[in-house]
Structure 1
Amino acid sequence: MLTQYIERILRARVYDVAVETPLDFAQGLTRRLGNSLHIKREDLQPVFSFKLRGAYNKIAALDETARRAGVITASAGNHAQGVALAAGRQGIRALIVMPCTTPAIKVEAVQRLGGETVLHGDSYDEAYERAQLLAEQQGLTFVHPYDDPEVIAGQGTIGMEILRQHHGDLHAIFVPVGGGGLIAGIAAYVKFVRPEVKIIGVEPEDADCLHRALKAGRRVVLKQVGLFADGVAVRQIGKEPFHIAHQCVDRVVTVSTDEICAAIKDIFDDTRSIAEPAGALGVAGAKKYVQETGICGQSLIAIESGANINFDRLRHVAERAEVGERRELLMAVTIPERPGSFLEFCRALGRRSITEFNYRYFEDSAAHVFVGVQITDGDRDSENLIENLRQRGYAVTDMAGNELAVEHIRYMVGGHAPKLLHEVVYSFEFPERPGALLKFLEAMCGRWNISLFHYRNHGAAFGRVLMGIQVPKAERKEFREFLDGVGFAYREETHNPAYRLFAGGSERG
């Protein structure tokens, strides 16, 4: 199989539209990690992503009959732009089916490149089904984002460039993974030419389809995927990419949202470029791999796969980057409800800077405060500070890894319910388009009352909502069946300590 892919990669016609991107030395990251790190700058392609390589290679290989009919694909972002540009250069019609949740900036980008757009459904899966139907009806060739040998070969030219650009020893290449086309192409080439080089995939913790597939020895379908790194939010690894990955990928590293945000900041500090969340996965994975293995003095390469990020999302990235870099500790601390207790608590913190302090009076005996503190030595400093506070008699809960606390509760401190509510609390992901919340409320048909609601826009295709609903215990099973039927991604947060400390009613505990 690898021999066939080497031939395909060597013949790939990507340079009609793509450029050979540089391999930039990351000076700051190299110094911090104790290993030499280079970043492969695929964000510098004409569509700010590697995707046009595979799209163009597929389209350029079509026979005359297929070219006359045109091509179609389903995508919400980078692949859509790659297909539109590639088809335009070849003088071929391109129809792009995009979810209705796709931001207008991405739809307009596809149209500027000459692609025809059809908006359908709330998710990629719905857009994909529509594209398959239109392909059959109109005789169009479907250009798959990742599960196609020609697409994989096009992406594999990145591996060819890396080995040509980097001389000397090379320990590992860190590759973002969504459907698997990128890592399959790079792995096929690199493992054939230099089998000693490790190929390490990087996935978000909440969208780890390759990690789970390799662990199970077969492709699996994730029930839900996180949408922060929307460029890799794929529920199942591609069939062809999995065959290659099963042979050629050495390891998969999973990273959190905060670690992705920290990597975006790292890339900006070293290159002054702004990666999209999926584009920063390679750097995030390299950092975590070094932390977990303790390697030192090795040469590492991370793929920066794209830079198509909405400006609105940068606010969210900046908020989370300090936590992801372990420069900020978020804690819930219980202090006495009496004059002078805040001063005593600040003295206990020493000379550390307080980045955030949220509090509202609730009861006479104790106050629950949500506090952020600058730290200098990551986990070690956090552990020392928490232990010191506990020795002084404070009840402390580390909130840094608590998604509910970071995403919602820090903005809601003081919002305790005044009485027993029979409240259950869920976090939801709603499509970011008019009517999504209305659909939910209409489906609920007034059966249960909403007692808490918090939402913030982050410029993404899906909005994250925290909702409390008054549901008597006898109706909890019926309510969960209702949630399963509505079809939105959800997670129960009723027993999350952040909710119970800062927003729960008098029944908490």
Structure 2
Amino acid sequence: MPAGKSPGKSSPSLAPPARSPAAKGQRIAASYLKRVLTARVYDVARETPLEPARNLSRRLGNQVLLKREDQQPVFSFKLRGAYNKMVHLPAEALARGVICASAGNHAQGVALSAKRLGCRAVIVMPVTTPRLKIDAVQALGGEVVLHGDSYSDAYGRAVALQAEAGLTFVHPFDDPDVIAGQGTVAMEILRQHQGPLDAVFVAIGGGGLISGVAAYIKAVRPEVRVIGVQTADSDAMLQSVRKGRRVTLADVGLFSDGTAVKLVGEETFRVARELVDDYVVVDTDAVCAAIKDVFQDTRSVLEPAGALGVAAIKQYVARHKLKGQTMVAITCGANMNFDRLRFVAERAEFGEQREALFAVTIPEERGSFKRFCELLGPRSVTEFNYRISDAKVAHVFVGLGIQRRDEAERIGRQLVKQGFATVNLTDDELAKEHVRHMVGGRSELARDERLFRFQFPERPGALMRFLAAMHPGWNISLFHYRNQGADYGRILVGIQVPAGDEAAFDHFLRSLAYPCTEETRNPVVALFLQ
């Protein structure tokens, strides 16, 4: 039996076993145990449920539990640490008021705590903070000051304002009382699940949550692995642990704004270095896929930081080929801007390895377009972009639904074998973020084209049937389609019909029975397409 394993566990772990803290780590864990047990958080926080993610568990072959901190009154765990810090302040300090720097969730925790305790709260937030979080802080009575592009920028401004106004600084992570407040999350997890537990996955920004969680777990159940999760563009804690000193990142990614921290705390680094068992780094696509996973299991929408733990579990299970394990992901926040949902939905398919992108070159000759479409067969087409630009060859940007990433490589090889030069763009960030939206433009070869918008039922094979019905003698000069998940698919088609074929073309339009609108004389066409 691997060291640290709970007795009675049926499936042996293939992952690295949890480490028992060295003497220094044991002292750190012991020093925080009493702080966590005596933390005051439930005046404002609630004990959140530990729920099974049934669909995800079934897919992964492991039991995945979600610690639903996204269900707190401010939709984040942050109010635990903020309130525990503020409730322990002397009365005179509270009377002067508090100040903090935050990307949003800690700000709401401080604002709600200040409202509960009846004191002033000044909140310095990066200008990149989602509007949703700014509005939430102001609704709770917080005085918002916007400054800088990241937490670190806001922190510098908050320190300056603290000195000017004589306010008490409430740090979002680098404070023992804050860390202890966040540690109550772990206390609840171990109380709610007293059976075998293999690992707890915790998102890391500045390190307050993972420090509190790791300290409590290693003091009570050291056999449980504590695994930190960071995004590839905001991995200050991982880099610091590797180098044995705190590392300041030159820049941080802003998609997961709740974990966008350039420099982790001094105390949180000290705790994490001794007590955290392992780290997982995830990318944007994996986070988007995890948001979708949680939505499918709970019908709740997490913010990117809140989904890091789920993304990491999927990656960790695949890397170590785990089966029969029990793992917890702390879903630490749900302050999601609504306008991000389209991006998340689009990129989730890549994170799930469900969509492949290709650039395909086909001969600009009669029949080649139809032959290419027939080669795609019954596969689900997620996107199709083409604009005539060359008299000899056509460049098509196409997206296809897939089940596994290696399927993209197989499709690419098949297209090449059939004579179509193909570039696999599935992992190309430029293609995914920009080029897919820019395919098109004016063409000297398309002056006589007619342009139509079509609607057709969004069901498997509908697009292929539409393409197959096109007469091979009518040249397609433009084609744009993107599956938006609606009941009806919408495509824009440019068609060059030879003189004398007008009657046959009109019959084709009528026989399709798909609603269509001719847009040839739309002024937008003259400005951008012809």
TM range (shorter): 0.7 to 0.9
Counterpart in the other structure of 1:501: none
The C-alpha deviation readout for 1:60-119, integer Å capped at 9, x for no partner, is 111122122111001231111000001111112111122334344322211221212223
How many angstroms apart in 2 are the aligned matches of 1:151 and 1:29?
Answer: 32
| CA apart distance, 1:372 | 0.4
Counterpart in the other structure of 1:137: 164
Give the 3-state SS of the residue equivalent to 2:66 in structure 1: strand
Q: Which of these residues, 373, 385, 391, is aligned with residue 417 of structure 2?
A: 391
Give the 3-state SS of the residue equivalent to 2:338 in structure 1: coil
Counterpart in the other structure of 1:98: 125
Pairing 1:95-134 to 2, within 5 Å after superposition: 95-134=122-161
Distance 1:209 1:395, change over 3 A: farther
Counterpart in the other structure of 1:319: 346
The C-alpha deviation readout for 1:174-204, integer Å capped at 9, x for no partner, is 1111111111110111112111111111111
How many angstroms apart in 1 are the aligned matches of 2:279 and 2:370?
Answer: 47
Q: Which of these residues, 268, 271, 285, is aligned with residue 258 of structure 1?
A: 285
Would the aligned equivalents of 1:210 and 1:252 in 2 still touch at CA under 8 Å?
no
The residue type equivalent to 1:317 in the other structure is V
Counterpart in the other structure of 1:291: 318
Would the aligned equivalents of 2:286 and 2:351 in 1 still touch at CA under 8 Å?
yes
The residue type equivalent to 2:418 in the other structure is R
Counterpart in the other structure of 2:330: 303
Q: Give the paired residue count.
A: 417
The C-alpha deviation readout for 1:127-150, integer Å capped at 9, x for no partner, is 222211111112111111111111
How many angstroms apart in 2 are the aligned matches of 1:265 and 1:141?
Answer: 40
Counterpart in the other structure of 1:31: 58
The residue type equivalent to 1:166 in the other structure is H
| CA apart distance, 1:365 | 3.1
Pairing 1:443-458 to 2, within 5 Å after superposition: none
| CA apart distance, 1:167 | 2.3
Q: Which of these residues, 327, 340, 356, is aligned with residue 329 of structure 1?
A: 356
The residue type equivalent to 1:114 in the other structure is G
Q: Which of these residues, 78, 85, 99, is aligned with residue 72 of structure 1?
A: 99
| CA apart distance, 1:416 | 9.2
| CA apart distance, 1:334 | 2.1
Would the aligned equivalents of 2:280 and 2:312 in 1 still touch at CA under 8 Å?
yes
Would the aligned equivalents of 2:131 and 2:337 in 1 still touch at CA under 8 Å?
no
Counterpart in the other structure of 2:250: 223
Provide TM-score, normalisation by structure 2. Answer: 0.76
Pairing 1:31-430 to 2, within 5 Å after superposition: 31-376=58-403, 378-415=404-441
Distance 1:356 1:108, change over 3 A: same
How many angstroms apart in 2 are the aligned matches of 1:4 and 1:267?
Answer: 35
| CA apart distance, 1:33 | 0.4
How many angstroms apart in 2 are the aligned matches of 1:42 and 1:364?
Answer: 59
| CA apart distance, 1:16 | 0.9
Q: Percent identity?
A: 60
What stretches of structure 1 of length at least 5 have no aligned partner? 419-509
Distance 1:399 1:36, change over 3 A: same
Distance 1:380 1:59, change over 3 A: same
| CA apart distance, 1:17 | 0.7
The residue type equivalent to 1:74 in the other structure is A
Would the aligned equivalents of 1:261 and 1:324 in 2 still touch at CA under 8 Å?
yes
| CA apart distance, 1:3 | 1.1
How many angstroms apart in 1 are the aligned matches of 2:93 and 2:433?
Answer: 48
| CA apart distance, 1:282 | 0.6
| CA apart distance, 1:319 | 1.1
Would the aligned equivalents of 2:68 and 2:330 in 1 still touch at CA under 8 Å?
yes
More displaced 10-residue stretch of structure 1: 132-141 or 32-41: 132-141
Counterpart in the other structure of 1:435: none
How many angstroms apart in 2 are the aligned matches of 1:354 and 1:75?
Answer: 42
Distance 1:74 1:390, change over 3 A: same
| CA apart distance, 1:387 | 2.4
Would the aligned equivalents of 2:388 and 2:443 in 1 still touch at CA under 8 Å?
no
Would the aligned equivalents of 1:29 and 1:270 in 2 still touch at CA under 8 Å?
yes
| CA apart distance, 1:34 | 0.5
Give the 3-state SS of the residue equivalent to 1:276 in structure 2: coil
Counterpart in the other structure of 1:457: none
| CA apart distance, 1:13 | 0.3
How many angstroms apart in 1 are the aligned matches of 2:110 and 2:384?
Answer: 48
How many angstroms apart in 2 are the aligned matches of 1:105 and 1:410?
Answer: 29
Q: Which structure has the larger Rg?
A: 2
How many angstroms apart in 2 are the aligned matches of 1:417 and 1:66?
Answer: 69
How many angstroms apart in 2 are the aligned matches of 1:96 and 1:131?
Answer: 8
| CA apart distance, 1:56 | 0.4
Give the 3-state SS of the residue equivalent to 2:261 in structure 1: coil
Distance 1:48 1:4, change over 3 A: same
Give the 3-state SS of the residue equivalent to 1:14 in structure 2: coil
The residue type equivalent to 1:118 in the other structure is V
Distance 1:320 1:209, change over 3 A: same
Would the aligned equivalents of 2:101 and 2:107 in 1 still touch at CA under 8 Å?
yes
| CA apart distance, 1:122 | 4.0
How many angstroms apart in 2 are the aligned matches of 1:94 and 1:62?
Answer: 14
Provide TM-score, normalisation by structure 1. Answer: 0.79
Distance 1:52 1:382, change over 3 A: same
What stretches of structure 2 of length at least 5 have no aligned partner? 1-27, 445-530
The residue type equivalent to 1:221 in the other structure is T
Q: Which of these residues, 2, 8, 15, is aligned with residue 42 of structure 2?
A: 15
The C-alpha deviation readout for 1:294-313, integer Å capped at 9, x for no partner, is 11111011110010011111
Would the aligned equivalents of 2:183 and 2:215 in 1 still touch at CA under 8 Å?
yes
Distance 1:27 1:367, change over 3 A: same
